[in-house]
Chain A
Amino acid sequence: MRRLVRDNALAACFLLLFLLSLAGQSVAGTAAYNEDQVAEGGAPVTWLQYVTSSTFAVDVAENWQSEYLQFFLYILITVWLIQRGSPESKKRGEEGLESDAEQKVGRFAGAGSPAWAAAGGWRRTLFSHSLGLAMGLIFLLSWLAQSVAGLAAYDEERLARLEDPVGWGGYVLSAEFWNRTLQNWQSEFLAVASMVLLAIFLRERGSPQSKKVGDPHSATASSG
């Protein structure tokens, strides 16, 4: 049991942080929502009513989509683009999908390789891109969820202002939808660019996301 926990500590730690943060967001969100409700002469809602509301759903989904987009693009773009000195980049000359031997697929698969890496045809193709596809799919679903939940929250606000509701098509073309979307995207892209550049010159001893402390700044694709 202790070994199981230790072997999965990284995932468990972040899942726990996720659940605690989501719970905290739901409590703080309920309080903030009720402040507005009372100020406008409405009745406060319960925690359960808030967490099943479109307001909470759109706040959650808009952050999810941008995080998954960030990882999806990082996974995909680092196949083709390199950054000299970055511990998370491939070396110059390694850009692209690489050979079957380098990727250990087909006849180059080892005894411990996943079955679909050794297989041919669509199974190998699908498995070869399964991480990017999964991240991309979760991004699209989260973005769609943001649009559906956002529409409900947006049209409720419009009706409260004595304006006509806009419908899904109108919402995904609205300034509100793109403001919510792009304000999340810009922060994700900045964070990735910062990480790529800062990791060239700065170190975090012991972290696999960093180069070894004594590695030269020009060293690429090493971790410590």
Chain B
Amino acid sequence: MVVVCLALITAGCASAEKDPVVSTAERFLSAAGQGQGGPACGLLAPKAARSLDDCEKQIVSVGLRPAAVREVDVWGDEARVRLDGDTLFLHRFPEGWRIRAAGCDPRPGRPYECEVEA
């Protein structure tokens, strides 16, 4: 009973949370790809935005582009969106999902290496 509930809660939460995660990721990549630094930086987690000296200028110069979403994982307040040629990591804040890391490449056995990272 406990296990079934846990499984349903886990699966249910993960499934219901995917849409806003994908939406945030797509809006972010669309803004960055179209050179709109302000909106793109507005979707970054505060720490990630602060990691860039001039966020609005730098965020549009790292080559982020909209791409097809291949896989979405949501666990608690953290999420990963894998796209064709890019991976994003997001964190859920009270105001909604924000990008913690973008332009990420996998490294076997180690954390992803990211162009922008909180």
Contacts and interface: CB of A to CB of B under 8 A. Distances in A.
Contacts of B46: 41
A152 B2 CA distance: 15
A163 B100 CA distance: 13
A159 B7 contact: no
In this complex, the interface size class of chain A, counting residues with CB under 8 Å from chain B, is 20 to 34
A203 B107 CA distance: 60
Contact of B78 (A141, A142, A156): A156
A159 B73 contact: yes
B6 A156 contact: no
The main secondary structure of chain A at its interface with chain B is helix
Interface stretch (B30-38, B61-69, B87-95): B87-95
B2 A141 contact: yes
Contact of B75 (A43, A52, A148, A152): A152
B70 interface: no
7 contacts: A52-B9, A54-B6, A141-B1, A148-B7, A155-B78, A162-B111, A165-B75
Interface of A: 41-43, 52-55, 57, 61, 141-142, 144-145, 148-149, 151-153, 155-156, 158-165
Interface of B: 1-3, 6-7, 9-10, 46-47, 73, 75-80, 89, 91, 93-94, 100-101, 104, 106, 110-112, 114, 117
